[in-house]
Structure 1
Amino acid sequence: MVPVMAQVLEQGICFRMGGENYLHPINNVKEVLPYEEPNPVIGAPACVEGMIELRGNLVTVVYGSSILDVSLDDAAEEGHILVLDLPEGYFGVRVEGVENVMSINNEEVDRQSAQYYPHDCIQGTIERQGDLYILVDFTDYCNSLE
C-alpha cells in the first residue's frame, strides 16, 4: 500500500527578517526584486518607505521590519523586495533575504502558535528539519494602507 501524502495547500516563499525564518504564500507574490531605494511619499504612514516603478506600475514599498515589529538593531539590511499583486494594487515588502520556495501542507501548520505573536499577519508556524518558519500573510496589512 502506498502512503497517502499530506495535502499540499500551496507554495510559500521563505525569507529572513531579524534572525527569524518566515514563509509567505506565493499565490500573490508577483516577483522578488533586489532592493532599490524607493521615492519618498509625502504624508505616507511611517511603515511606507516610498514608491518604485515596476514596468509601468507603481509599487508601494513597506518595511518588513515595521510590519513584524522587528527592531532595526536585530534586523540586517533589508536587501530584497517581495512584490505582492493585490486587488488594491502592487505592494513591495522589504525583507532581509529570500531563501527558497517550499510546499506548505495543512498538517504541518501549527495555527495555535499564532496566538503567541502580536501581529495579525502571522498565521502560525511550521517546523521542518529542525528549522522553525513563521507563516505570514501580508495581504490584509497592505490592503489596510490604501
Structure 2
Amino acid sequence: MPGRIFADLGETLTQALLGGDFAAYASVMSLPLRITPRGDPAYVLHTEDELRADFQLYHDRLKGRGVTDIFRHVVEIMVVDQTHLRVRCRTHIMVQAQRIVDPFETRFLLVEQPDGWLISEIESARGHIRFSLGLSEIKGGAFTSQPDDAGGDDGET
C-alpha cells in the first residue's frame, strides 16, 4: 500500500507541475513544507502564498525547458510509523523520450493527515532545487551551479 500512496501523490505532483495547476499541487503538500537542497541550508514554506510562489518558479522553469514528464523511480519506501513514510527515488526529468539532466536522488517525507497522505518534506540534489528556483541551469545533462556557469552539479549534492 505505501507504494500506491506515493504513486498517486507523485502522479498528481507531476501533472500539477507540468500543467500549471496550483490547486492540485497544493492538494498534495502539507504546510509547513520543508525543502532541503543537499549541500545548502533547508528552507520552509509556511503559507499558501509562499507555496504558490515556489510552485510558479518551478512550473515556469519546466515549461521553459519543454519538459513533458517527470518520472520518479522508487528505490525504497520506509514506514517510519503509522503516520509517516520516507520515500527515496531516482528522478528523471524528460522532454519526450530524452532525459535533459542525469537522474538524481530525491527523498520525500509523507505524513498522513485527516484528508489523506501529503508531502511534508522534500530533499533533493542542490542543483535541482537551485534550478527550480531559477538559480541554476541545465547544460550538458547536468545542473550548473549558476545560470551562466559552465560547471556542473552531478545531482548527488
- The answer to which structure has the higher helix fraction is 2
Give TM-score, length-normalised by structure 2: 0.25
- The answer to which structure has the higher strand fraction is 1
| Structure possessing the higher relative contact order (Cα contacts under 8 Å, 6 or more residues apart) | 1
